Amino acid sequence: MHVGLIGARSFGQHHLEGMQRSPHVEAVTLAGRNREAMEALRERFPKVRAVSTHYQELLADPSIDLLDVVLPHDLHLPVALEAFERGKHVLMEKPPARTVAEFRSMIDAAEAADRRLFVVMNLLFTPFHHVIRRAVDEGRIGTPFLSLEVNTGSALKVYGDPENWRADRERCGGGLLIDGGFHSVYRQLYFLEGLGAPRWLTADCAQIGVSEPEKGEDFATLTLAYPEGARVHLMSQWTARATLGRFPSGILGTEGSLLVTGDEACPLLLRRPEREDEPLPVPAGPQGFGPSVTACVEHYLECLATGAQPVVDLDLAMLTLEIIRGAYRAADEGRRLELTGTFRTHFPSS
């Protein structure tokens, strides 16, 4: 197939690596604002046959089968809609859209055009996440009742730069929650899929470390509640002048806990009463954001070429987006918000 990649710099290079590795991709055309940078990528990746500084040229090219979109969030919907109108499949970086309504419009357009739509949820392609899920499913910690994830970061440059689209209320759709928070939500849903889907949430979203009216929240806390009482609690803050290091994160169960250590040599511990901590081995494979993006893109290319079902369906992306938009609403209105969405993944360990 011939793939068009819009936004090949930065994270787009990990997408390009997946195309280079895929036996199903014959040619790639790149679009980006910096032609010199695009030409440099053409030298590094032999499958790149052409470059452009205007992504509209890729939309108009009838030889392109799949359009891979790595653009600011406000461009996701219009680019996808035009791609479907022109008979192309679409691979979309996360989040797929700024709002649930935008994403539904995108899905409807894909169905009307009989084209396929894929959404990058790359962390689910790492062995580390599979080991956590397997330990939960096998009952290694009993019945899980709390999953906890807390982090602080320093993205002051993003919040202080009005020209940077990230965290821009209009272009990004919000602040940290709809950006990095998208990863946190979908992986927690995956870890606890055996409990079903959460039924309500509470949230607090605010700008507390800076004062930038055009930017979104730099602080978010989100609690998801499951039918039988289990909770997921996420907290993030993105404008720390000096970060506090890693906070304890993991999953608590009725018979033990899974502890995410942050140590590359021993990233995951099984902790149970009156026993020594048990390191859980993580098999070789893509680890971290970049390699997992490449693995995710390779998988979707395989699915497109063979007609196979992807291991991650659009319903997980939709529920993740519903939760994030619901969190904004719950924070604004100061109340608990009910959830109705469901999902299912199709990994071998699931």
Residues 179-211: tens digit of each pLDDT = 999 999 999 999 999 999 999 999 999 999 999
pTM to 2 decimal places? 0.97
Whether 35 shows a pLDDT value over 60: the answer reads: yes
Residues 144-193: tens digit of each pLDDT = 999 999 999 999 999 999 999 999 999 999 999 999 999 999 999 999 99
Distance between CA atoms of 233 and 119, rounded to whole angstroms?
Answer: 24
Distance between CA atoms of 244 and 41, rounded to whole angstroms?
Answer: 37
pLDDT at position 348 is 77
R_g over Cα of the chain: 20
∠ CA 22-182-281, rounded to 5° = 65
Amino acid making up residue 236: S
Contacts by 261-268, CB closer than 8 A, 24 or more apart: 267/128, 268/128, 268/131, 268/132
Say if residue 143 is exposed, middle or buried (CB neighbours under 10 Å; 0-12, 13-18, 19+).
middle
Whether 264 shows a pLDDT value over 90: the answer reads: no
Least confident of 7-16, 45-54, 60-69, 74-83: 7-16
Which tokens is 136 given? Answer: 């939960």
Neighbours of 117 (CB within 10 A): 22
Three-state DSSP state, 225: strand
